[in-house]
Structure 1
Amino acid sequence: MSRDRYVDFLRAWAIALVVVGHWLITVLVRGPGGEITAPELLAVLPWTQWLTLGFQIMPLFFLAGGHAASGSWARTRAAGGTASGWVARRASRLLLPAGVYSALVLLAVGVCAAVRVDPGTLELVGWAMAMQFWFLPVYLLLSALTPPLHAAHRRWGLGVPVVLGAAALAADALAVAVHVPYVGLLNYVLVWGIAYQLGFCWRDGLLTGHRATAPAMAACGGVAFAALVGVGPFPVSLIRVTGQSPGNTDPPSAAMLAWVVAQVGLCLLAARAMRRLLDRERVWRVVSPVGGASMTLYLWHMLPVLVVAAAFYLTGLAPQPAFGSAAWWALRVPWLLVLGVVLAGVVAVLRPLERGLAAVHERIHRDADLHHPWPLWLGLATAVAALTRFAGQGFAPGGRLPLPPALGLALGALLVVLSRRTKPRDAEKPDDVLEEAA
């Protein structure tokens, strides 16, 4: 089966909006003493929470990921490959770049802590560099669960996301109404897992076999979201806002589930027109590089903020109109443009590293199979725990180097990457290397 350009576009589009969204809500203010603070835009200007309806695009990221994983696992399974071998290949595609990124950031944190950089500033920077990490443990878990989830899909089809949806609603009800917060954590896997599972259904035609499916999903999801926000207890913001309880993303709520359904429906409605557009080579030449650099963009997109902060805010060169004024919003345009230029430079500098990691990944996984599966599963558990810790506390909690999660991520990544041995057998087609894990 040839690659679906629309699926690749969804991944590229999601990455682009994540990057721009994070940049847009990042606010830097230079105080009278030269200190830099970062007010929370969504909390200080509550009307901006409506903007998150356009920037919360992660449902499509999981949808595209499920579509790609479904095809990759189906080919591996047909060729006689094992679930453990497939999971190891997919997991290492995420953990190699994430591990290198974390190592470099932690090295910088260690140096800054050694030279006595202000702990508060270091903690803020460490949080900014880890704010996107929530996605990685969730996606690793869904990748590990892909074989059984796909088996359930082959047997029950659309019944699987329906059951997952009922479980997500029950978990959210317990978390919100009965105040059992830990049950709500299940929705990280349940809600985003529904989008992932719908990717399976989309690939197999279960969402496109009837003309009414897409508009029904868009309409029902939209109405449910409006009701849960307008009448129910949930806020409109689809991004976390400090002090907002209940929220919609930490963990995903019933309102986020409704948004998943609505967004998938809108995606299906746009598919035909977008595929015609993407068939134009000029358009595809713009989209393709973004998808190819998706992990690099996702991991490194906050580094330009630090570079620009040092160059323009610490030096006092950046103008400082009143926060939220018309002049301040007008300056968001050059802010985004400058960050885009810096990020392009970062991607160019990192391209040799990106190619080197791809080569290492292929060298490890070419003609290889698992010797024993236990290092893989132990490594995955350790890596997920470490990434979850980074996502929650950043790379410098309290302005200090977090050694336990750092060692945990290193150990977990090594166990996953080195859990294979050379064997004259490859269960995956060569073109599977083109499939992005995310």
Structure 2
Amino acid sequence: MSSGRDRYVDLLRALAICLVVSGHWLITVLAHRDGALVAPELLAVLPWTRWLTLLFQIMPVFFLAGGYAAAGSWDRHRAAGGTAARWVRRRAVRLLLPTAAYAALALAGLAVARTAGADPALLGMVGWALAMQFWFLPVYLLITALTPLLAAAHRRWGAAVPVVLAAVAVAVGPTPLRDLDHLLVWAVAYQLGFCWRDGLLARRGVLVALAAGGAAAFALLVAYGPYPVSLILVTGEEVSNTDPPSAAMLAWAVAQCAVCLLLAPAAERALRPARARRAARATAAASMALYLWHMVPVLVLAAVLHLPGLAPEPVVGSGAFWALRAVWIAALAAVLVAVLRALRPLDRALRRLHAAARTEAEPHSPLALVTGYAAAVPALGYWAGHGFAHGGVLPGLAFAAGTALVLLPPAAVPAGEAPVESAEAVA
């Protein structure tokens, strides 16, 4: 594995998370109307802004980079004699621990606000804003759990695997089984990461064909098919490209991944300076925290500026509105830095809990791991669709129980067992 390639994978993770965060901030509009806080939907108010989602819907790149990293991690783990259950548990813990801390604080804050008599409609908006990014987590957890099977398929059939996954995704899209596309479409990008790692996508002509073909297919599906141009859900649209991911999203994902691979040689050269490498690595390492906490600054500025009516609120789409977007994003970035610094004690506590869970050893039992997944993943999906303010305590209890089962330390560690890949990077 080339160090230059590893640095580029770090850059892709960093780029993906930064574009997701800035995209969410860009389209978030707040206004104070008749004593209440409202959030006009930018993509609905200004239809032309839906084209911006072609740039900011960058999650295919995150799955591509994740697949590349996971392929190497699983191969090393397997070569060292590690089991699939151990590998899956270790990687699940890296997602579940920070998510559990975030969810606990969000639920506690909403409970306090509810007890204090906060407006239920406002709480609903806040609860949705705090959980809107959760759609990614159950999908990534499930694909992570399937990695040993996907890797076995890759070893046997190579580049045919993403082709078959894509064909099945398109076939089930119009059927009652369409929810499978939440896994199938993103698994295509993930599996392309396997192919990238093994050099199956090294030919420039192949990448050009994939990029051009994916972009052309997307254009045709939008122009002549039922699919909208927006790559995120817009109120009022009957067809969504993301819920579940559509054939148009699949086409764009393939094109986006191919473009990233075409840019790899130039990007690897650009990352040779130590400062560029450190910046990409640091941002990639902080990607989970950035992803989880990036809507909290929006709520902070809403409380400090918009609820009291202190923030300027130009007409959406006006020149003043767009000029203030830059100020808005800069202010949010400053608040996010402050939030992450304030969370350092929590981060240290999570590291201690991670160590106590002994993730380098076998899970307590495969049944505990499977049961934990079965409880935690649906709870994450529920929050992604409904927010934190609805559903009572059941989703929280299910997620807490599921996370605890995954974290459950092994009953005993065999004498002389050596840890495997203790310094492995998060994919």
Same fold (TM over 0.5): yes
Q: Aligned equivalents of 2:351 and 2:194: distance in 1?
A: 26
d(CA) in 1 for partners of 2:218, 2:419: 43
2:164 counterpart SS class: helix
Q: 1:261 aligns with which of 237, 254, 271?
A: 254
Deviation at 1:78, TM superposition (A): 0.4
Q: Partner residue of 1:30?
A: 32
User: What amino acid sits opposite 2:150 in the alignment?
Assistant: L
Distance in 2 of aligned mates of 1:371 and 1:404: 25
1:389-400 maps to which residues of 2 (within 5 A)?
Answer: 389-397=382-390
* Pairing 1:406–2:396 present: yes
Unaligned runs of 5+ in 1: 175-179
For structure 2, the residue ranges without an aligned partner over 5 or more in a row are: none
Deviation at 1:2, TM superposition (A): 6.0
TM-score by length of structure 2 reads 0.96
Determine the C-alpha separation between the residues in 2 that align with 1:80 and 1:393: 42
| Alpha-carbon contact 1:134-1:391 (below 8 Å) kept | yes
Instruction: Say yes or no: does 1:430 pair with 2:422.
Output: yes
Distance in 2 of aligned mates of 1:275 and 1:367: 32
Contact preservation (8 Å) 1:87, 1:143: yes
8 Å CA contact 2:89–2:359 kept in 1: the answer is: no
Name the structure 1 match of 2:305: 312
Query: What secondary structure sits across from 2:243 in the alignment?
Result: coil
Q: 1:210-234 CA distances to partner (integer Å, 9 max, x unpaired)?
A: 2311111101101101100111111
TM-score, normalising length: structure 1: 0.94
How far apart are residue 427 of structure 1 and its match? 5.4
Aligned length: 423
- In 2, Cα distance between equivalents of 1:344 and 1:365: 30
Q: Distance in 2 between matches of 1:146 and 1:289?
A: 26
Shift, 1:361, TM fit: 1.6
| Alignment pair present for 1:344 and 2:337 | yes
Measure how far apart 1:189 and its partner are. 0.1
Q: CA deviation at 1:436?
A: 1.2
Q: In the aligned structure 2, how far is the partner of 1:274 from the partner of 1:170? A: 36
Equivalent residue in structure 1 for 2:198, among 204, 207, 219: 204
Tell whether 2:325 aligns with 1:335.
Answer: no
Looking at structure 2, the residues matched to 2 and 273 of structure 1 have their Cα atoms a distance apart, in angstroms, of: 15
| Alignment of 1:156 onto 2:150 | no
Counterpart Cα distance in 1 of 2:162 and 2:342? 42
Offset of residue 366 of structure 1: 5.5
- State the AA in 2 paired with 1:316: G
Q: Match of 1:143?
A: 144
> Structure 1 stretch 122-131 or stretch 232-241: which is displaced more?
232-241
Q: Distance in 2 between matches of 1:6 and 1:129?
A: 30
The CA distance in 2 between the partners of 1:258 and 1:367, in whole Å, is 38
Q: 5 Å matches for 1:61-76?
A: 61-76=62-77
Matching residue of 1:55: 56
Which of 410, 414, 425 is equivalent to 1:420?
Answer: 410
Q: Which residue of 2 aligns with 1:116?
A: 117
Gap change, CA 1:251 and 1:393, over 3 Å in 2: same
The AA in structure 2 aligned to 1:436 is: V
Contact 2:68–2:190, Cα closer than 8 Å, also in 1: yes
Give the match's secondary structure for 1:30. strand
Paired residue type of 1:264: C
What corresponds to 2:278 in structure 1? 285
Aligned 8 A contact 1:15 1:294 in 2 = yes
RMSD between aligned residues: 1.3
Alpha-carbon distance between aligned partners in 2 of 1:2 and 1:270, rounded to the nearest angstrom: 16
Once the two structures are superposed, residues 276-304 of structure 1 have per-residue CA deviations (whole angstroms, 9 ceiling, x without a partner) of 11111122232222111111100000000
Query: Which position in structure 1 is the counterpart of 2:181?
Result: 187
Work out whether 1:365 is the aligned partner of 2:366: no
Give the deviation of 1:317 after TM superposition.
Answer: 1.4
Q: Is the 8 A contact 1:5 1:278 kept in 2?
A: yes
CA displacement, residues 54-106 of structure 1 (integer Å, 9 cap, x when unaligned): 10100000011111111111111001111011101010110000001000000
Q: For residue 386 of structure 1, what is the amino acid of its counterpart?
A: A
Aligned CA distance change for structure 1 residues 367 and 252 (closer, same or farther; 3 Å)? closer
Query: Matched residues in 1 for 2:358 and 2:98: separation?
Result: 16
Q: Tell me, in whole angstroms, the C-alpha distance in 1 between the residues paired with 2:270 and 2:94.
A: 30
Q: How many angstroms does 1:332 deviate by?
A: 0.5
Partners in 2 of 1:61 and 1:402 — Cα distance? 32
> How many percent identity over aligned positions?
57
Give the drift of 1:422: 4.0
Paired residue type of 2:421: K
C-alpha distance in structure 1 between counterparts of 2:360 and 2:227, whole Å: 50
Measured in 1, the distance between the counterparts of 2:410 and 2:225 equals 50
1:7 matched to 2:42? The reply is no
Shift, 1:119, TM fit: 0.4
Specify the code of the residue in structure 2 equivalent to 1:319.
P
Kindly indicate whether the alpha-carbon contact (under 8 Å) linking 1:376 and 1:419 is maintained by their aligned counterparts in 2. Answer: no
2:235 is equivalent to residue 242 of structure 1 = yes
Whole-Å Cα distance in 2 between the matches of residues 320 and 242 of structure 1? 22
**Farther off after superposition, 241-250 or 188-197:** 241-250
